[in-house]
Amino acid sequence: MRFPPSTVEPITLRGRTIHVKRDDLIDPRYSGNKFRKLHALFDIPADAYRRLISWGGNQSNAMLSIAALCAEQGWRFEYTTKRMPERLHAKPAGNLAAALDFGMVLNEVAAGDYEDAVAGLRSNSDSDTLVLAQGGADALARIGIERLAGEIRDWREAAGIERLHVVTPAGTGTTAAYLALSLPECRVITTPAVADTDDLKRQIERLMQLPANLQILRSARRFRFATPDAELLSIHRELCAAGIEFDLIYGALMWHALLAELDCIEGEILYVHSGGLAGNATMLDRYRHQGLF
């Protein structure tokens, strides 16, 4: 699939100008880094598979992007998740509703059976079935991330930047780690949104040796994954006021960690926008529900 390089725009925060690679603008159906991670799958002939199976959370950005991909390729998409709350059944919202509209077939299992179910999915070897690990944490993500790295390299050379730090948040760490691998001349900075630092390292080591130029920042505070938090909301608003919207789960957390370190980072910073804006509406509903907004 051909598409032009995503654009780079400046954002000024607390007196510092940071470049933002607008991967969130590539395609409204494919949230930011999911487009990059799934890129290789767009070029597979549609008749190579009949179905794709994956698993994860019921509002996952990856789930939505995979659902859009399968709709385009004509593949059946079966997605396994833990049993959902009744209200979500009655009225699917956000990414879940959008993915169901794309034809996703949902398979719910009791929380206690989830790990076994996932193990079963992982070991599926049907020749007509593509197994994609949660969040697209797969070696085939490398192809799309290398393409992203190439765009960054071209931009850096054109801008004549000596020292560049590339920043992007981590869920599975697939994006940040392949980016570090493909850009040995830069430092790649990330922060774990889901796991702690050791878990993130272990997850990356399933795919590759931990790249030496990957720096994992830890926020001074602990945040629970995808949980409303007044401090994250305040950063989200600061970013919106500065001109670019980021997602409330990964983006707000990455900026939280980055802003705390800003004075220690010499050289230019390129923040790779990882998308996820489709999930902001349901997150803001939860903020409202908790009286934080």
Ligand X SMILES: *Cc1c(COP(=O)(O)O)cnc(C)c1O
Task: Please tell me whether residue 182 binds ligand X under the rule CB under 6 A.
Answer: no
Nearer Cβ to ligand X, position 161 or 233? 233
Name the residue type at position 98. Answer: A
Q: Name the region of 212 (left: φ>0; alpha: ψ -120 to 50; beta: rest).
A: alpha
Interface mask toward ligand X for 226-255; x: CB under 6 A: ---------------------x--x-----
Nearer Cβ to ligand X, position 89 or 237? 237
Nearer Cβ to ligand X, position 15 or 259? 259
CB of 137 to ligand X, least distance (A): 6
Could you tell me which of 98, 159, 157, 75 has the C-alpha nearest to residue 281? 98
User: Does residue 264 contact residue 209 with C-beta atoms inside 8 Å?
Assistant: no
Name residue, tokens 């509002």.
Answer: 59
d(CA 132, CA 127): 14
d(CA 44, CA 100): 23
Residue list 16-75, contact with ligand X (CB under 6 A): 31-33, 61-62
Residue list 125-164, contact with ligand X (CB under 6 A): 135
DSSP lists the bridge partners of residue 109 as: 82
CB of 8 to ligand X, least distance (A): 18
User: Does residue 77 contact residue 103 with C-beta atoms inside 8 Å?
Assistant: yes
Report the residue from 96, 170, 183, 232 that binds ligand X according to the rule CB under 6 A: 170
Nearer Cβ to ligand X, position 97 or 161? 97
State the residues that interact with ligand X by CB under 6 A: 31-33, 61-62, 135, 169-176, 247, 250, 274-276
